[in-house]
Amino acid sequence: MTDRKTLQLRDPSEAADPAPALKKKGRGWEISSSRLDVLHDQARQMRREASPAHKALAARFAKADLGRYTFKRYAVVGSAIVDFNCHNLGMAIAIDEQGQNDTLAKRRDKSLEAVGIRVMRIKASDILDNIDAVLARITAGMRMRIADKKDAARAHAAANPNQHYSRPKRRDDRPK
């Protein structure tokens, strides 16, 4: 026969570690608040001194009707500052300026992809030369990301049939 385990109450002196405190600033990223403040200050300074390519793309985003999808300029995401970020889509746009460190950019992209943020890299010269083609590429990337999110939601709903995210009916909505 096999030995059976019996349930026992723990001795109060052997109390387990308390649950970790909820993160406030940074919302889950392991970043100190002082580092996060520095990143926000850097992003603010970058918004003030934007490159011509960044200004051109920001102006087109401001004119475009993207519905509920908006791009924030020089957004802090984790420990990185991305040129444009759409939080609803989990999509970031990085403008490749001349003289940037490629290994650092690849490492940053990899860390963002690890948490589900898709990074689209665009050359600054492409934005200045042919912004319409760049916008078409961004729109195609957005459509792909929307489709991926819908597929993930369907897969989650199929795997968890007992979870309902629809709004419960109010008493006023019942038929009379």
The Cα–Cα gap between 25 and 12 comes to: 34
Terminal-residue alpha carbon distance, the chain:
63
pLDDT top residue among 15 and 53: 53
Q: Is 77 helix (H, G, I), strand (E, B) or coil?
A: strand
- % of the chain surpassing 70 pLDDT: 80
Q: Would residue 36 count as lying in a domain? A: no
pLDDT in tens, 142-163: 999 999 999 998 998 889 888 7
Is there a domain that residue 66 lies in?
Answer: yes
- Is position 39 within any domain? no
Does residue 172 sit within a domain?
no
Structural domain harbouring 82: 51-159
* Statement: the pTM of the whole predicted model exceeds 0.75: no
What pLDDT score was predicted for residue 6? 76
Distances (CA, A) of 82 to 61, 164, 171: 15, 35, 46
User: Is 114's pLDDT higher than 70?
Assistant: yes
Question: Does 143 reside within a domain?
Answer: yes
Closest CA to 119 of 128, 134, 106: 106
CATH number at residue 76: 3.40.960.10
* pLDDT for 169: 65
Number of independent structural domains in the chain: 1
Does residue 14 sit within a domain? no
